[in-house]
Homo-oligomer: A and B are copies of this chain.
Amino acid sequence: MTLENVSSQKSFGGWHKRYRHRSTTLNCDMVFAVYLPPQAEQGTKLPVLYWLSGLTCTDENFMQKAGAHRLAAELGLVIVAPDTSPRGDGVPGDPEGAWDFGKGAGFYLNATQEPWSRHYRMHDYVVEELPALVEANFPVSDRRSISGHSMGGHGALVCALRNPGRYRSVSAFSPITNPLNCPWGEKAFSRYLGEDRSRWREWDACSLMAQAAEQLPTLVDQGDRDDFLASQLKPEALQASAQAVDYPLTLRMQAGYDHSYYFIASFVDDHLRHHAEALKG
């Protein structure tokens, strides 16, 4: 559980820091980033927003491009951004070097199939190991929320829905809502989880929402000029699942926006306020 500080950069009066550590869940070294707002130096324990990035990303994309530090500094919110998959020479990747499977594409699940099952356990890393590490090493409370983009939006929804009591709120930008029924999900799940599609439902936000044991305030933003909207993201499927069980989902279709970080930056303040409200007290 030793953390090696990779870098420290002052940002909006707080600090953006990156750490390397040995992950026992993933059996490899991992790097994550944390934004510590100025209030972290004042002795009170702060709530934490976990951010899960999308395909091909690392811990850096959100921190550099989302413009989230400004309001996090005002709200006193810690943000933790893990990498998107296990990493390193000892970790198997996609045999053809694809960008939508393997390294950079862990899909925030626990793989059951060889050779992936030894390393690809991002769900347990994000939900258990990383928060334990963060809560032992930084001035934070056990009040947690979770958000993410695209594959990470899927991750945020699934982590929240699978773990009642663990998070106070959830949100997502352009999430893969129904990986059971889209090409990205079918490719990844068939390899990580095997061909028995009945096991895939445990990692599908639409399926999980239909039998949710807890109702969390849920905000989803989706651009209507997102190239992946119809084929991969399917917000209408999530909307239908929510309506069937009266789940408190706010889905906002944003006119003109695409899948990029310009979209995320445009609405990230709304998401931070959504979480800060749920994390209060």
Contacts and interface: CB of A to CB of B under 8 A. Distances in A.
Interface string A52-79: 0000000000001101011000000000
Interface string A209-225: 00000000000000101
A13 interface: yes
A43 interface: no
A265 interface: yes
B69 A9 contact: no
B69 A11 contact: no
A265 B11 contact: yes
A225 B262 contact: no
Contact of A9 (B12, B13, B65, B258): B258
A116 interface: no
B10 A265 contact: no
A266 B258 CA distance: 26
A260 interface: yes
Contacts of A247: none
A114 B260 CA distance: 42
A48 to B, nearest CB: 20
B11 A266 contact: yes
A50 interface: no
Interface string A255-269: 011101111011000
Contacts of A225: 10
How big is the A interface, by class? 20 to 34
A122 to B, nearest CB: 26
Interface in A89-137: none
Interface string A1-25: 0000000011111001000000000
A16 B266 CA distance: 12
B70 A10 contact: no
Contacts of A263: 9-11
A176 B221 CA distance: 42
Nearest to A262: B11
A65 B262 CA distance: 10
A5 to B, nearest CB: 15
B10 A261 contact: no
Contacts of A257: 10
Contacts of A265: 11-12, 67, 69-70
Interface in A186-227: 223, 225
Interface of A: 9-13, 16, 64-65, 67, 69-70, 223, 225, 256-258, 260-263, 265-266
11 contacts: A9-B258, A9-B262, A9-B263, A10-B257, A10-B258, A12-B266, A13-B266, A64-B64, A67-B70, A69-B262, A70-B265
